Amino acid sequence: MENVEELLRKILEQLSKPQIPSLPIAIDLWDTRMVAAYLKRSVDTIREDVVSLPSFPKPVRLPLASGARSQALYKAREVIAWAERHTAR
């Protein structure tokens, strides 16, 4: 019985956390993890083989106060359009 109670506690804990609303594809920015999920590839494959392709959308890099290089983000709509251009017909 303790396992069921623990599971219920975890479920309630997750449900009580504030949820980040989904953004419309037209304005969403994806990190490499989200690009990988969309393209059904590993994050390593995306980093090593996909984002380096000349035809792949250029990353958005938001400025950081520290001057360090920020995480690469990609416009979701551009990634989707890129994938659509590679659909077999």
40: CATH: 1.10.10
pTM of the predicted structure, to 2 decimals? 0.73
Supply the DSSP symbol for 29: E
Residue 70 lies in a domain: yes
Query: What pLDDT sits at residue 40?
Result: 96
Residue 13 lies in a domain: no
Q: Can you tell me the mean pLDDT for 31-55?
A: 96
Residue 3 lies in a domain: no
Structural domains counted in the chain: 1
Give the 3-state secondary structure of residue 43.
helix
Residue 2 has pLDDT above 70, yes or no: no
**Residue 38 — left, alpha, or beta (φ > 0 → left; ψ -120 to 50 → alpha)?**
alpha
Chain segment 63-79, per-residue pLDDT in tens: 888 878 889 999 999 99
Is residue 25 within 8 A of residue 80, CB to CB? The reply is yes
Query: What pLDDT sits at residue 80?
Result: 97
- The tally of CA atoms less than 13 A away on the side-chain side of residue 58 is 3
* Segments forming the whole domain that contains residue 64: 22-85
Give the 3-state secondary structure of residue 60.
strand
